């Protein structure tokens, strides 16, 4: 997770700098949390697998003032497609709770001024405000001049010489509970797009909500489902759309339309680009529900027609994409035994770092664990608050602390009978208020043997405090202390070194060697992650706190996966 804050309290002060720093690759999306403020910058999202989240939708604003009538160095106008505030070229990019605005001004003077240019595939926009005047939202491919303009930031999104000649496209965008404001064709382009529960707001100037540019052989274009069409224009000055291309495809399903909507509904662009039966509506409510006054060529969909238009049908494609079904994220809260480590510290690894490789498809991991943190300092540094901003129903919040709570340092110390369970309860309450599942895990064992070769428990009363809280609140709990003690004891004083960061002198990252009995190496991290998943499955199956023995039956397939990854 990267934090962007203008006041310097985060990892970056600008959104573009954070995006530029994101490494390529990885199955789980990189999470960028943007703190409130007005970020006046033009943003190019050219990385795949990103999730940008605003801490507060109305107070987290990205804005720019470019417009079509701005001049190039040679004196020519830059045009519509270089006027964007945000351009997304990456694949699997999700934007949550942001206001994205182009404040260039009225189209009569500024011309087109795009707020969002959505060029990548599998884009998801939830609870966003997209605000401009003329041409607010373009969902379509890149063009060579756009690629030249954003260089050196590369892009793999579809590219065409002219958007008017775009071939059949399989790129898709999904908008849910968004507020989209503009005028004169302010939602336009050739992509397949689904708008779920959105508000379309026409400015006082009036115009057309949509201008689809759907290729002839493409079965779907713009679909609006359970949306509200309103605005500030005089009654009848907001048309449902006009065809930017002859075969434009735009459908409104179960939408509420107030008096600003024109009784005619759709309108021809000109004598060549006319409305056809590829445009239509069904189940309209509100002041403009009467379809008897509609354009004669638009289709009056039947109930069967409407039922056939679903998210899987319109957006599913060859990969069965279902953006309406959120993939759960596991947020990990913990210390250095769980945290991610850079390659320069290898072979040291936290067990949370290896968890994504062992998880089945259908879940993401955000490892928010940080070295040296306790349950208290993690909260005091606002790290739990940042996770609070990103949690959604169906997510999991995995909490494992103790190593640093045990230390006398006042900034980190908690009392196992009092403040430690109180802090853990904060994590539990945070998860539950979002419909996420809190999961507690006792700390992993330190490798500390007595002279007789017996492994000693070193965490005092803290693990028992976790067990007690889990029992009192009916929480899922994985007993990693008992599981890892059994694992390390079985390996013995010498064999257990293979699980911890023991390296001989001369190692490129540890010239003097290392004999760390708290932190793990790659093999140990994989084994502990496998133990955690086995324990989690045991807890889910039995409805009780699991021990190493109870989880052993679930471990074999996970260990085989661990061995595969390790090899």
Q: Among the listed ranges 61-70, 157-166, 487-496, 528-537, which one has the minimum average pLDDT value?
A: 157-166
**% residues pLDDT > 70 (the chain):** 95
- pLDDT tens digits, 277-311: 999 999 999 999 998 999 999 999 999 999 999 99
DSSP string, 117-183: EE-SSSEEEES-EEEEEES-EEES-B-HHHHHHHTTS---S-B-S-GGG------EEEEES-EEEEE
What is the Cα–Cα distance from 113 to 67, expressed in whole angstroms? Answer: 4
Q: Among the listed ranges 226-240, 358-372, 483-497, which one has the minimum average pLDDT value?
A: 358-372
Q: What tokens were used for 157? A: 């999104």
> Hey, where are the domains in the chain?
66-83+105-319, 329-566
- Residue holding tokens 């005619």? 264
Q: Residue 563: pLDDT band by 50, 70, 90 thresholds? A: low
Instruction: Give the residue-averaged pLDDT of 412-417.
Output: 97
Q: Among the listed ranges 12-21, 52-61, 153-162, 303-312, which one has the minimum average pLDDT value?
A: 153-162
- pLDDT tens digits, 419-447: 999 999 999 999 999 999 999 999 999 99
Helix (H) or strand (E) holding 281: strand 279-282
What is the Cα–Cα distance from 49 to 25, expressed in whole angstroms? Answer: 8
Residues 416/460, Cβ–Cβ less than 8 Å: yes
The per-residue pLDDT of the chain, averaged, comes to 93
pLDDT at res. 24: 78
- 66-83+105-319 and 329-566: identical CATH topology: no
- Residue holding tokens 């400015």? 203
Integer angstrom CA distances of residue 542 from 361, 538, 551:
23, 6, 10
- pLDDT tens digits, 391-402: 999 999 999 999
| Buried b or exposed e, range 12-51, using 16+ CB within 10 angstroms | beebbebbeebeeeeebbbbbbbbebebeebbbbbbbbbb
pLDDT at res. 317: 86
More confident residue, 71 or 537: 71
Helix (H) or strand (E) holding 375: helix 375-380
Asked if CATH classification 3.10.129.10 holds for the domain at 329-566, the reply, yes or no, is no
Integer angstrom CA distances of residue 74 from 19, 77, 298, 402:
31, 9, 44, 64
Residues 315/174, Cβ–Cβ less than 8 Å: yes
- pLDDT tens digits, 200-227: 999 999 999 999 999 999 999 999 999 9
Residue 174 clears pLDDT 80, i.e. is over it: yes
More confident residue, 240 or 361: 240
Nearest to 36 by CA among 105, 119, 97, 126: 97
Instruction: Give the residue-averaged pLDDT of 380-386.
Output: 96
pLDDT at res. 27: 67
Residue 37 clears pLDDT 70, i.e. is over it: yes
Say which residues have a Cβ less than 8 Å from residue 53's Cβ, sequence separation at least 6: 31, 32, 33, 34, 96, 97, 98, 389, 390
Q: What tokens were used for 529? A: 């992650």
The fold of the 66-83+105-319 domain, in CATH, is Pectate Lyase C-like (2.160.20)
Residues 266/279, Cβ–Cβ less than 8 Å: yes
């Amino acid at each position: 997770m990267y934090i962007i804050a203008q006041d310097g309290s985060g990892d970056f002060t600008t959104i573009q700098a954070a995006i530029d720093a994101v490494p390529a690759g990885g199955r789980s999306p990189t999470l960028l949390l943007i703190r409130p403020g007005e970020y006046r910058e033009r943003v190019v999202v050219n990385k795949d697998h990103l999730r940008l989240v605003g801490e507060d939708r109305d107070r987290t604003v990205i804005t720019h003032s470019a417009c079509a009538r701005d001049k190039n160095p040679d004196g020519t106008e830059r045009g519509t497609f270089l006027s964007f505030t945000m351009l997304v070229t990456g694949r699997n990019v999700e934007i949550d709770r942001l206001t994205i605005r182009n404040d260039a001004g009225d189209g009569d003077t500024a011309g087109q001024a795009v707020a969002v240019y959505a060029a990548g595939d599998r884009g998801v926009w939830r609870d966003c405000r997209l605000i401009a005047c003329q041409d607010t939202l373009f969902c379509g491919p890149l063009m060579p001049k756009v690629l030249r303009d954003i260089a050196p930031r590369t892009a793999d999104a579809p590219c065409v010489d002219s958007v008017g000649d775009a071939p059949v496209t399989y790129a898709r965008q999904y908008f849910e509970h968004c507020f989209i404001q503009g005028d004169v064709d302010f939602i336009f382009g050739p992509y397949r797009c689904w708008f779920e529960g959105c508000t379309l707001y026409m400015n006082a100037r009036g115009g057309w909500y949509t201008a689809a540019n759907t290729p002839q052989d493409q079965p779907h274009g713009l679909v609006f489902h359970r949306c509200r069409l309103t605005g500030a224009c005089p009654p009848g000055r907001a048309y449902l759309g006009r065809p930017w291309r002859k075969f434009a495809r735009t459908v409104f399903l179960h939408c509420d339309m107030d008096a600003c909507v024109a009784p005619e509904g759709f309108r021809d662009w000109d004598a060549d680009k006319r409305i056809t039966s590829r445009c239509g509506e069904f189940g309209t409510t509100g002041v403009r529900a009467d379809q008897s006054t509609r354009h004669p060529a638009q289709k009056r969909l039947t109930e069967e027609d409407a039922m056939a238009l679903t998210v899987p049908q319109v957006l599913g494609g060859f990969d069965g994409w279902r953006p309406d079904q959120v993939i759960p994220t596991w947020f990990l809260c913990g210390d250095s035994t769980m945290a991610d480590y850079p390659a320069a510290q290898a072979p040291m690894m936290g067990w949370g770092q290896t968890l994504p490789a062992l998880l089945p498809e259908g879940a993401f991991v955000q490892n928010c664990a940080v070295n040296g943190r306790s349950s208290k300092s993690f909260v005091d540094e606002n790290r739990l608050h940042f996770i609070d901003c990103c949690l959604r129903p169906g997510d999991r919040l995995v909490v494992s602390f103790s190593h640093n709570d045990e230390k006398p340092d006042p900034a980190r110390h908690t009392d196992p009978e009092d403040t430690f369970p109180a802090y853990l309860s904060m994590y539990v309450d945070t998860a539950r208020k979002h419909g996420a599942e809190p999961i507690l895990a006792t700390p992993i064992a330190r490798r500390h043997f007595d002279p007789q070769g017996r492994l000693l428990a070193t965490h005092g009363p803290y693990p028992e405090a976790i067990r007690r809280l889990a029992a009192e609140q009916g929480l899922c709990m994985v007993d990693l202390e008992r599981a890892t003690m059994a694992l390390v004891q079985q390996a013995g004083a010498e064999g257990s070194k293979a699980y911890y960061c023991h390296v001989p002198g001369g190692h490129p990252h540890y010239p003097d060697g290392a004999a760390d009995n708290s932190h793990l190496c790659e093999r140990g991290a994989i084994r502990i992650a496998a133990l955690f998943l086995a324990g989690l499955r045991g807890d889910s199956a039995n409805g009780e706190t699991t021990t190493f023995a109870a989880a052993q039956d679930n471990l074999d397939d996970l260990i085989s996966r661990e061995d595969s990854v390790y090899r």
